[in-house]
Amino acid sequence: MTETASMQTTLQDITTRLKDKPGALLPILHEIQNAFGYIPKDSITFIASELNLSRAEVHGVISFYHYFRESAPGQHTIHLCRAESCQAMGSKHLEAHVKNRLGIDFHETTPDGKFSLEPVYCLGLCSCSPAMQIDSEVFGRVSPETFDRSLVEIGA
């Protein structure tokens, strides 16, 4: 089975299983992102057709929620907290360092495909601000130096 055919089969399975639920669009988008790591652009027309929605409606939901991605994520996803506590403790400086170090902005992936950078609006580490998460590991009291060490530890 080709990659395109496999993707189409997965999309069909997900939409068939969930399309009759009230508010089906969000559960479908979550399932698709869980299956592929992102919402493939080619899937928007299919989803819209299955739910009798316009492509603009589907795209509007995808672009409204920061959780959804329209491109494949990097090997590692870095979430930087942008909540008030982290901002009060220097996350703007950390954010500038991270973006400069990786050469990308939020919602982007490094050209080598290693890292994606995403904003998050609370990791629950307010007493240890500023905070970040790399994949499933959370870090508190992050400085530019500890960020750089974290990258070295994961092989960057």
**How are strands ordered across the β-sheet holding 108-109?**
108-109, 115-120, 76-81, 132-134, 137-139
Q: Give pLDDT, residue 3.
A: 73
What does the alpha-carbon distance between residue 78 and residue 115 come to, in Å, rounded to a whole number? 7
CA dist 29 and 35 (Å) reads: 10
This prediction has a pTM of 0.77
Mean pLDDT by 10 residues, the chain (156 residues): 84 97 97 95 95 97 89 94 96 98 95 95 95 96 97 86
Per-residue pLDDT of 11-20, as tens digits, reads: 999 999 999 9
